[in-house]
Amino acid sequence: MSEARRPFRFGLIGAGVAAEIHVAAMRTIAGVEVHAVADAAPERARALASRHGIPEVYESGDALAERAAVDAVAVLTPHHLHLPYVRAAARAGRHVLVEKAIAHTVAAADELIEACRAHGITLAGIFQNRFTPAARRLRDTVANGGLGRVFLAAVTVNEYRAPSYFLTSPWRGRKAEAGGGVLMIQAIHMIDLLHWVLGMPRRVLAETHTVVHDVEVEDLAVGLLEFEGGVTGVLQATTAAVPAEPPSVEIRGDRGTARVSGSWGHLGFELSTGAPASGQDIPAESDPTEPAVEPYAAQIADFVAAVRHGRPPVVDGVEARKALVVVDALYRSAGTREWVTVDPVPSAAPRR
């Protein structure tokens, strides 16, 4: 069998919410198989394996990384475990797909990127929204000058998470494990789209608060972001919004406004330029009950193709690190209540 036709096998470390989405997406990609799963709670790994016919179950992520006959490992654990499991996978010569946030700190992200580079393996970080037609339309509209001179951007994340969200997975409420709250877990998706469209901000100013949930991390964040060319960004993010509404990124220029909104990968796009409607809009699904598998599948397929053709994936480690760098700058500003300069340059990590 030729290399291109051999099944591409994934092993999953972490069998929680993200794992279900990954399995659903991987199963839609021809030539891709989910071969193994590991979880610190073995019953979770066994349950996922039996639901989806995954042949091998491992008692630990390290054992899977070392012993499973897989081409790549998907790291789907709490954020503070991304670095050790990516390291283990890289040491074993497995390619790595890691969920957002790439790591719980920028320093951990740098170590993780360096480990993959040192072992010559391909690293991609999940930001599935970039693979939606709506997000691409937003980026193209701005890049093609469709809004005229851009002067304002707004990231609005009015989500709601019930107490059970933190009780079932307590790491989500712990700073040392998640790295942060609504900025790190929810808003990071829209922050990724924001810098993808406008480039990295030069500096940020932020406040964070824990207003409703009984957790260490913030459930409310507000901020300002200053971009090249005099574009001002405003950010508001909370997991305590009642009622919740679809998160959005809105870009305003002197000739129009464009907006993406939606959650779970169901993103819509709206463009208002004052010109008669010209069919560019993509309707946002108002209340999706299941995540959209297509954007995930598109990103995973890009990763598999990157490994097979020896090219970098669209969202490589350096690219996945950028949203974390912005989030980190927002946290540092919230600590000092002062503007913080954003340093987008990885310390020593070349692209891979």
- CA distance to 54, 175, 291, 351, per residue, from 241 (Å): 38, 21, 20, 38
Least distance from C-beta 99 to ligand NAD, angstroms?
4
The answer to whether 185 and 172 are in contact (CB under 8 A) is yes
Q: Toward ligand NAD, which CB reaches closer, 128 or 141?
A: 128
DSSP state of 186: I
Q: Toward ligand NAD, which CB reaches closer, 81 or 334?
A: 81
Q: Toward ligand NAD, which CB reaches closer, 65 or 205?
A: 65
* Residues binding ligand NAD (CB under 6 A): 13-18, 38-41, 44, 61, 76-79, 81, 99-100, 126, 128, 169, 185
Least distance from C-beta 14 to ligand NAD, angstroms?
4
Phi, psi of 306 (to 5 degrees): -60, -45
Least distance from C-beta 160 to ligand NAD, angstroms?
15
Task: Select the residue whose beta carbon is closest to ligand NAD and give its number.
Answer: 16
Least distance from C-beta 165 to ligand NAD, angstroms?
9
Residue 332, helix vs strand vs coil: helix
Q: Toward ligand NAD, which CB reaches closer, 81 or 147?
A: 81
Residue indicated by tokens 């207003």: 211
- Candidates 195, 299, 165, 186; CA nearest to 247 is 186
State the DSSP string of 26-59: HTTSTTEEEEEEE-SSHHHHHHHHHHHT-SEEES
Least distance from C-beta 75 to ligand NAD, angstroms?
8
Contacts of 92 (CB under 8 A, 6+ apart): 65, 66
Q: Toward ligand NAD, which CB reaches closer, 151 or 171?
A: 171
Residue indicated by tokens 């942060």: 180
Q: Toward ligand NAD, which CB reaches closer, 77 or 261?
A: 77
Least distance from C-beta 242 to ligand NAD, angstroms?
21
- Candidates 253, 247, 252; CA nearest to 267 is 247
